[in-house]
């Protein structure tokens, strides 16, 4: 059975004390134990988050990482730095990294390979923009994003991958893909993996949906056959809302 996963992406929000406080609030919530829960605070608060989540069953992910092991890359963070403070997961390819920091599928391929080789697990984000959906090229766009960044991986490396389909037009906009639109794309994504690898690999990969998931729409989205959870931005900054989404399964 595929893992059910809900991950909060806190983006550039929360100071260290706010990070610890939100985690303490989350720990007070009754979170469904069948769901694997992640929080992804900003780099400077990862260490505090690892300490605060110890023995809680909540996992910590980084929001990004550099593809090189070390070196003259001012302002960057490496895989070994994440691992050393107890972080085992990294989000790569978020649409904000693509749009504001110029991350391309080719660069993301390097980042994914570096992360996996270091022993990190990757939550890989991708998804089409509004114009691409309107011009009905969204399936082609997603296919290219996945094939460039991921389809050179070995089948065994997919055990370290979680996918997060996030249509850019639904992120932070309050506009959600309909459950049918999410299911249609998730089924397509799984069929691509099946074509490039096999059914065992395709059936084992958790595919999350992201984009304006809220307590009010989580259950309907998560009930779709190929939707295995969510990547949550805005609604993950509030413990009750995030818990309601986790418990939306």
The footprint of ligand PGA (CB under 6 A) covers 9, 166, 171-172, 210-213, 231-235
Provide the token pair at 43: 């780099």
Least separation, in Å, of the C-beta of 220 and ligand PGA? 15
Please say which residue, 4 or 212, places its beta carbon nearer to ligand PGA. 212
**Cα(109)–Cα(105) distance, integer angstroms:** 6
Chain residue at closest Cβ approach to ligand PGA: 233
Distance CA 153, CA 60 (A): 24
CA atoms within 13 A on the CB side of 211: 27
- Shortest Cβ 7–ligand PGA spacing (Å): 8
Question: Residue 172's CB: how many other CB atoms inside 10 A?
Answer: 13
Per-residue 3-state assignment (H helix, E strand, C coil) for 133-166: HHCCCHHHHHHHHHHHHHCCCCHHHHHHEEEEEC
The residue from 89, 94, 138, 186 that is catalytic is: 94
* Min dist. Cβ of residue 205 to ligand PGA (A): 18
Whether 94 is a known active-site residue: answer yes
Say which of 103, 128, 132, 166 is annotated catalytic.
Answer: 166
DSSP characters over 189-238 = HHHHHHHHS-HHHHHH--EEEESS--HHHHHHHHTSTT--EEEESGGGGS
Closest distance to ligand PGA from the beta carbon of 148 (Å): 21
Which residue, 201 or 209, has its beta carbon nearer to ligand PGA? 209
Q: Are 105 and 143 in contact (CB under 8 A)?
A: no
Smallest gap, in angstroms, from Cβ of residue 133 to ligand PGA? 16
Distances, alpha carbon 151 to alpha carbons 113, 139, 194, in Å: 11, 16, 11
103 carries an active-site annotation: no
Active site residues: 94, 166
């Amino acid at each position: 059975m595929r893992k059910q996963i809900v991950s909060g992406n806190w983006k550039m929000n929360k100071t260290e004390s706010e990070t610890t406080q939100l985690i303490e609030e989350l720990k007070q919530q009754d979170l469904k134990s069948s769901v694997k829960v992640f929080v992804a605070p900003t780099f400077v608060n990862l260490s505090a988050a690892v300490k605060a989540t110890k023995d809680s069953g909540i996992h910590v992910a980084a929001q990004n990482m550099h593809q090189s092991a070390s070196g003259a890359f001012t302002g960057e963070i490496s895989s070994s730095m994440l691992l050393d403070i107890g972080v085992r997961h990294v989000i790569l390819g978020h649409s904000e990294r693509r749009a504001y920091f110029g991350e391309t599928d080719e660069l993301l391929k390097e980042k994914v390979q570096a992360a996996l080789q270091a022993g990190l697990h990757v939550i890989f984000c991708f998804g089409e923009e509004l114009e691409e959906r309107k011009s009905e090229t969204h399936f082609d766009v997603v296919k290219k994003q996945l094939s460039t960044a991921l389809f050179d991986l070995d089948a065994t490396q997919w055990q370290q991958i979680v996918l997060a389909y996030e249509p850019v037009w639904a992120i932070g906009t309050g506009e959600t893909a309909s459950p049918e639109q999410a299911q249609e794309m998730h089924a397509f994504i799984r069929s691509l993996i099946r074509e490039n690898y096999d059914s065992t690999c395709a059936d084992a990969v958790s595919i999350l949906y992201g984009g304006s998931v809220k307590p009010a729409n989580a259950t309907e989205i998560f009930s779709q056959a190929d939707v295995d959870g969510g990547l949550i931005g805005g609604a993950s900054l509030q413990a009750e809302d995030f818990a309601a989404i986790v418990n939306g399964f």
